[in-house]
Amino acid sequence: MPIIETQDLRKVFRSLVRRPGVGGTLRTLFSREYEDKVAVEGVTMALEAGELVGYIGPNGAGKSTTIKMLTGILVPTSGVVRVDGLVPYEQRRRNARNIGVVFGQRSQLYWDLPLIESFELLRAIYGIPPTRYRANLDHFTETLDMGPFLRTPVRQLSLGQRMRGDFAAAMLHDPRIVFLDEPTIGLDVVAKEAIREFIARVNRERGTTFILTTHDLADVERLCRRIVLIDRGTLVYDGEIDALRDRYGTHRTLVVTLCEPTPVETLTVEGAEVESHAGDVWRLRFDRRTVSAEVVIRRVADRYRVSDLSIEEPELESIIRRIYLEGYSEAMAPA
Amino acid sequence: MEHVRRSPGELLAPYVAFAAKAFSREATYRMEVFTNVGSLVVRLYLMKSVWTALYAQNAAPAGVSLHAVLTYTAIALLMSLVLELDGTRQIRDRIREGSIATDLMKPISLPLYFFSDGVGMTLLHALLIVPALIVSLLIVHIDVPPPHVLAAFALSFLLGYLVNFLLNFLMNCVAFWTLETFAVQLMVRWMSDLLGGQVVPLIFFPGVFQKIVLALPFAAIYSTPLLIYVGTIPPSGYLAAWGAQVGWFIVFALLSAVIWHAAQRRVVVQGG
């Protein structure tokens, strides 16, 4: 049985119509005109226990709304949602025992208190048995290297330290499912890697199910095999990242450095187009289904003197960007 | 699927912990604690000057001596040290910044959380009453009634505290619909200070108006305990006075339950 299941999940927000201008503002005060905004439009998905899934989409796609319905703080307009056998919005508090949440932009630690006191409070909130609390605290203190700042007030922690604290806080009660919302936002590369390593490790060692919402696709590439892509409230892709890359990553980029004594005005190569150039470095984009890399390289080498070249695989980011910009169906069509 | 029955002790543990945390959190704002006492002293001095000047024009209106009024005023200001704390203001702040979402993702009752947090705050600020009382004694002489009156006052104060908490809670819950509660709160705060008898004893209000204000819920917060303290409400009237406070408490509690239920269904989290 899937641990998380939604069927035709919909959420429509109703808001007062606001009119521009002073007259409009006055009319808004008394108006009862509403407009409906569809945030999530019929999302159906199923996650198995122990999966680590990237849930991605552009701003306003409906990611947060979905997560809020899964955590039980928003009531769906229609559709079915089940999390570990519970209906979250009907059993919010019981559901809360099964889940953990980490928000990169919003700490759930107590600002004025030393980190350890937030943990103590969580122990009381979740009624964590003392032995398990002790074991988890020791384990997380070690793996997240929190020893040096356990007694520091949260407001004095660096962002990286605070995030580590937030992760420990979300997992002290051994949740079966953890929702991560932009967990690495604003972190430096080292801190990012530490967090990613921690997520991978908890997923591997404890079998915790993770749903990772992020705009940093490096997180997703590093951690997830499966992604669920949502756009304008609708689910547009649900499957393995590799499959997405194979199907939609149809373009490659050849980066060439020329060693011409005089600079070239334009570089023309049959089957490839100039994407950009800076000085003697040219970026040529080609469709790997119509022309092979070998042919493009030969055509370049035949006409120009080349000092260096390399081929770039499309990054997940550029594939996703294309889907955001062109829509899913057009991105599917041959370019 | 885990379905653990929890003992009452385990169920209460988080709320005791919340109160303890609020207590130590408030203690970190030392400056605020001292300015509160300072502000109280200034207000007491001003009130003393005003009442003394008024009494010079008209001795003992409504049969209340200047000395009784000053006692009333001083006790009212000391009560305000804890009654002016609004532990539920967090509701509004947390709705505006969106952190109400993470609160709701915890297996706790949020109204009880805000209540225990408020109690923790109150307990710390209640400690201030001692130094504030000592300083107040330098400005005015305060009558101390016999123990049974003090006990009646304490019970009434406690009931007033609960009514005040629920009034604040209801006020802050408005933010679930409007996100902003400043205007509503300012209005209710002024009304409750004036109509609750914090500034002027309600027995100074004329005729019918006095009957109306005494029947309003605001009277249950300041006026009832204070009138018990100064003896305007005699021991024979205690039961009726407490009864009215309990009545308002029940009305507000029911109203809060309804509002909270509706609010939970319409959480609109800001941003994200």
- What is the predicted pLDDT for the residue at A31? 66
Comparing alpha-carbon positions, the chain B residue that sits nearest to A118 is B21
Strands of the A281-287 sheet, one edge to the other? A272-278, A281-287, A251-258, A306-312
What is the Cα–Cα distance from A102 to A190, expressed in whole angstroms? 19
Q: Does residue A80 sit at the B interface (CB-CB below 8 Å)?
A: no
How far apart, in Å, are the Cα atoms of A262 and each of A259, A276, B162? 9, 19, 86
A323 pLDDT tier (thresholds 50, 70, 90): confident
Per-residue pLDDT, averaged over A311-327, amounts to 78
Cα–Cα nearest to A255, from A300, A321, A295: A300
* DSSP code of residue A20: S
Q: What is the dihedral of CA B31, B37, B41, B43, to 10 degrees?
A: 90
Residue A335: what pLDDT? 38
CB of A96 within 8 Å of a chain B CB? The answer is: yes
Residues of B in contact with A93 (CB under 8 A): 107-109
pTM over 0.90: no
> For A195-205, what is each residue's pLDDT tens digit?
999 999 999 99
- With contacts defined as CB-CB under 8 Å, which chain A residues touch B267? 73-74
Q: Is B114 exposed, middle or buried (0-12, 13-18, 19+ CB in 10 A)?
A: buried
- Inform me whether the pLDDT recorded for A234 exceeds 60: yes
Residue type, A211: I
Q: What is the mean pLDDT of residues B148-163?
A: 95
Q: Determine the structural domain holding residue B134 and report its residue range.
A: 8-265
**Residues sharing a CB contact under 8 Å with residue B210, sequence separation 6 or more, in sequence order:** B202, B203
Q: Does B25 touch chain A (CB under 8 A)?
A: yes
Res A61: pLDDT: 87
Is 50 exceeded by the pLDDT of residue A333?
no
How many other C-beta atoms lie within 10 A of the C-beta of residue B174? 20
pLDDT digits (tens, 9 = 90+) for B215-269: 889 999 999 999 999 988 999 999 999 999 999 999 999 999 999 888 877 665 5
How does residue B130 score in pLDDT terms, banded at 50, 70 and 90?
A: confident
pLDDT at B36 over 50: yes
pLDDT digits over A105-150, tens only? 888 898 888 999 999 999 999 989 999 999 999 999 999 999 999 9
Residue B209 lies in a domain: yes
Domain membership of residue B41 (yes or no) is yes
- pLDDT tens for residues B174-211? 888 877 777 888 888 888 888 888 888 888 888 888 88
pLDDT band at B5 (very low <50, low <70, confident <90, very high): low
pLDDT band at A262 (very low <50, low <70, confident <90, very high): low
Q: Which of A34-48, A213-227, A316-330 has the lowest mean pLDDT?
A: A316-330
Q: What is the DSSP letter of B16?
A: H
Strand partners, A287: A251
CB of A210 within 8 A of CB of A199? yes
- CA-nearest of A320, A84, A44, A90 to A179 is A84
pLDDT score at B56: 86
- CB proximity under 8 Å: B 72-131 to A: 97-99, 101-102, 104-109
pLDDT at B166 over 50: yes
Instruction: Please determine, for residue A216, whether its predicted confidence score (pLDDT) is greater than 90.
Output: no
pLDDT score, position A95:
92
**Chain A residues lying within 8 Å of B99, measured CB to CB:** 106, 108
The pair of structure tokens assigned to B166 is 């629920």
Q: What is the residue-wise DSSP string for B217-243? A: GGGGTTHHHHHHHHTSS-GGGHHHHHH
Q: Where are the alpha helices (DSSP H) in A43-91?
A: 63-71
- pLDDT per position as a tens digit, B82-105: 888 887 888 888 887 777 888 888
Tell me the count of A-B CB pairs closer than 8 A: 73
Is B258 part of a structural domain of the chain? yes
Q: Is the CB of B141 inside 8 Å of chain A's CB atoms?
A: no
pLDDT(A256) > 80: yes
Residue B270 belongs to a domain: no
**What's the confidence (pLDDT) of residue A263?**
64
Return the residue matching tokens 């000085």: A279
Residue B2 domain-assigned (yes or no): no
Nearest by CB: B21 against A92, A113, A126: A113
Burial label for A13, CB within 10 Å (0-12, 13-18, 19+), is middle
The secondary element (H helix, E strand) that includes residue A143 is helix A130-143
B6 contact residues in A (CB cutoff 8 A): 127
Of B157 and B192, the structure prediction assigns the larger pLDDT to: B157
Report yes or no: A100 and A179 within 8 Å, Cβ to Cβ: yes
What mean pLDDT, rounded, does chain A reach? Answer: 87
Which residues, 6+ apart, have CB-to-CB distance to B51 below 8 Å?
B66, B69, B70, B73
Distance CA A52, CA A55 (A): 10
Looking at the predicted structure, is the pLDDT value of residue B272 above 50? no
CATH superfamily of A4-245: P-loop containing nucleotide triphosphate hydrolases (3.40.50.300)
**Dihedral (Cα; B183, B189, B195, B197), 10-degree rounding:** -160
Domain layout of chain A by residue ranges: 4-245, 250-313
Burial label, A193 (beta-carbon count in 10 A; 0-12, 13-18, 19+): middle
Contacts for A234 with CB less than 8 Å, ≥ 6 apart = A41, A42, A43
Q: Which of B16, B21, B272 sits opposite A64 (nearest CB)?
A: B272
Compute the average pLDDT of residues B26-49. Answer: 85
Whether residue B271 is contained in a domain is answered as no
By CB atoms closer than 10 A (0-12, 13-18, 19+), residue A150 is middle
Q: Which of A150-154, B20-24, B249-253 has the lowest mean pLDDT?
A: B20-24
The position carrying tokens 């802050």 is: B172
Q: Which of A122-126, B36-40, B129-133 has the highest mean pLDDT?
A: A122-126
Domain count for chain B? 1
Q: CA distances (Å), A215 to each of A34, A106, A107, A170, A245, in order? A: 32, 16, 18, 21, 17
Query: Does the residue B221 lie in any domain?
Result: yes
Q: With an 8 Å Cβ cutoff, are A96 and B265 in contact?
A: no
Reported confidence tier of residue A281, pLDDT bands at 50, 70, 90: confident
Closest to A267 (Cα-Cα) out of A291, A238, A301, A236: A301
User: What pLDDT score does A261 carry?
Assistant: 60
**Bridge-partner residues for A52, per DSSP?**
A210
Per-chain mean pLDDT for chain B: 85
B251 touches A at CB < 8 Å: no
Cβ A68 vs Cβ B101: under 8 Å: yes
Q: Which phi and psi (to 5°) does residue B29 adopt?
A: -95, 70
Q: Is B42 on the interface with A (CB under 8 A)?
A: no
What's the gap in Å between the CA of B70 and the closest CA on chain A? 39
Instruction: Inspect the interface and report whether the beta carbons of A106 and B21 lie closer than 8 Å.
Output: no
